[in-house]
Structure 1
């Protein structure tokens, strides 16, 4: 029996647990099936542009996942041995144990400093895929409709299974979500939302488009209750920030409403699908 599909899924899950981004996973997977490849070959196979592929290879090399092979007239890359993967897992386990030991003291210290230095304000930082997933799960707690600016499809970083679970929970809330997206989203959305993608009620997920010439959206932003959440996960950088401050959130909501009035409803956008898009 052919177990390749299941094995490929397990590899992707494994790489996700190592905090590799979607593009980093594509590059590494390209090396798994064929060894000793040039940057151009890897770029073609992974469908990641050459400049980004080179930068990713340098990072994977620093992690010990990739080896560089210098030949007479060119440089090739190959995946490292499985022993290196085992060592990397052991390092993650050791780091996790250390973090768990330090967490109570660090949490107590941060809360004390935040309470004294920034009354009424809390700033939380997140890193990696799990950090972005946590931020997405946090916005399910919102008590009022969520608004925001969409840079790239959420599914790109959190994965299809997570986004479906998130959407199911959001639909249970019966809460409205309004977002504004720009040209970058239009350029990449069909890479992630295929014809078989489940679409949702446009009365719940309401989207509008604004030209990048008017507002160039360069990162993801959610605004709800007293929270301003900012995300970035493109080109290897995976991080997010939550600012819990009522005044900051209210100002951003006002800015959103101004842009909303300028934006074009998705139903009127000639490039939009005939059916509403999956959101977020």
Structure 2
């Protein structure tokens, strides 16, 4: 029996694991089966099949009945799948409230720890877009972003809606920036994407360096009150890391200001 892969993926999105969704679909298509038959058809080992069937039973998605003194499994009515997702929402909301209640205590303990810089690492364009760049544009309040940038090719490869989100953040949050860029055809193309946000040109100050002055395909951004993000466009895959430390942030800002004030194009 061929499993409906498309439907299986949709069921996975409701919170079931890959194998749980596979067994759910098998029971749906077969009308019910013994664990041995499920294991044979799905090629999932029998011990795992029993564990998943028990889990589906506990979740109210499958029912076990005895046939010929053996346990036989079939699905509960599909409406139970809706009830299961409602329960997931309820549990998530409950956990969120519990997290909000204990947050002040946890945060107080965290703040009392000896000072240590925090570093987070991200690999690949997706992680850089969703985590590193998202962090850059979502700090509290209005602030300035400063840095050096020579990754126009990487930025041109990003989805246009992602760039639009960053540009819009400048306007919504009142952000501003000062940055050094390598003057190139690729950077000119990147600038053209901003034409639908004419206000950006007033919020973003730029100075240009020659290729020999900063040959690395990297970006260093200083932002918020304590963050520095470094992105490197390696040939294999782009990587980024964020350092969260007030002293390091202040040192980098001091170096940037010195470079900015003394740089002659």
Query: TM-score if structure 2 supplies the norm length?
Result: 0.49
**Greater C-alpha radius of gyration:** 2
With structure 1 as the length reference, what TM-score do the two structures score? Answer: 0.47
Whose RCO is larger (CA < 8 A, sep 6+)?
1
